[in-house]
């Protein structure tokens, strides 16, 4: 059983993906992804709809609107004041340097596009990777808090590993065309089964290859060689696979 089969894709569970399906507008995906920072996707959806109604979700509308009107529109989202400020700043940069068109960044070489996105206020590695993977199908694997936790519990990563190390590790064991679907399935897995507190290991299709689950029943850790062998096939194995 593979994760995408356990968690069939429901776009409405993911603000970035739903906005991409609905609008096909990378700027709106970037705004939705920023709104989902430190917030649930449900709150981010509400904030996005409110922003759309009260201000408009274009660089022009955000630059033209008073900051307090943007803040009011975003009140349902966490950290709404700083998000309002960042959206305004990003919109100014886009208008000044890219004619208000985020697509002009996304069509560049992937590393350059990523660098430009990360240079904007409020855009970190994860937000940049979500936008590039969702809108451009770039070969990137965004790592959020759920994915980080699952990777550590499975034994694919360590507590001290950087974002980049975990992302690279996951990409190395997954089929290239599965990054988006597995990224979304892992988030859903973290929300519903591999929860931060009391993970539901008895319902988990990954329990047969999970270090955390092995430790719970007193089994020793796998040897590095066995782990390497399992990792190399993790995207393809018949049972307990994260891949598609
Ligand atoms: S077996 Fe438990 S700890 Fe491991 S991935 Fe599944 S739910 Fe998470």
Ligand 1 in contact with 156 (CB < 6 A)? no
Tens of pLDDT, residue by residue over 79-120, are 999 999 999 999 999 999 999 999 999 999 999 999 999 999
Residues of the chain with pLDDT under 70: 1, 223-240, 244
- Which domains, from first to last, does the chain contain? 12-136 (1.10.340.30), 145-232 (1.10.1670.10)
Spacing, Cα 173 to ligand 1 middle (Å): 18
From atom 8 of ligand 1, which residue's Cα is the shortest distance away?
194
Per-residue pLDDT, 226: 61
Cα distances (angstroms) measured from residue 60 to each of 57, 100, 141: 8, 7, 31
DSSP 8-state class, residue 241:
B
Distance 212 CA to ligand 1 centre (A): 7
Structure tokens at 94: 């886009």
User: Bridge partners of 2?
Assistant: 241
Per the DSSP assignment, residues forming a β-bridge with 241 are 2
Question: Which pTM does this prediction carry?
Answer: 0.91
What is the structure's pLDDT at 23? 96
Residue whose token pair is 């449900």: 42
The pLDDT of residue 228: 57
């Amino acid at each position: 059983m593979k994760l995408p089969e356990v968690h069939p894709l429901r776009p409405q569970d993911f603000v970035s993906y739903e906005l991409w399906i609905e609008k096909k507008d990378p700027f709106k995906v970037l705004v939705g992804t920023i709104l989902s920072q430190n917030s649930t996707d449900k709150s981010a959806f509400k904030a996005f709809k409110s922003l759309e109604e009260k201000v408009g979700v274009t660089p022009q509308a955000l630059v033209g609107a008073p900051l307090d009107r943007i803040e009011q529109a975003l009140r349902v989202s966490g950290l709404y004041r700083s998000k309002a400020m960042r959206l305004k700043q990003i919109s100014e940069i886009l208008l000044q340097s890219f004619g208000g068109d985020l697509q002009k960044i996304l069509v560049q070489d992937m590393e350059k596009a990523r660098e430009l996105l990360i240079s904007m206020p409020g855009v970190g590695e994860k937000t940049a990777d979500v936008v590039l993977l969702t809108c451009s199908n770039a070969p990137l694997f965004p790592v959020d808090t759920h994915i980080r936790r699952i990777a550590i519990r499975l034994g694919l990563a360590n507590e001290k590993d950087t974002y980049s190390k975990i992302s690279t590790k996951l990409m190395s064991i997954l089929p290239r065309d599965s990054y988006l679907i597995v990224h979304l399935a892992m988030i859903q897995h973290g929300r519903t089964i591999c929860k931060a507190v009391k993970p539901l290991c008895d319902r988990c299709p990954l329990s047969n290859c999970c270090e955390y689950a092995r430790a719970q029943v007193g089994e020793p850790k796998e040897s590095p060689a066995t782990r390497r062998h399992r990792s190399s096939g993790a995207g393809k194995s018949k049972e307990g696979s994260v891949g598609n």
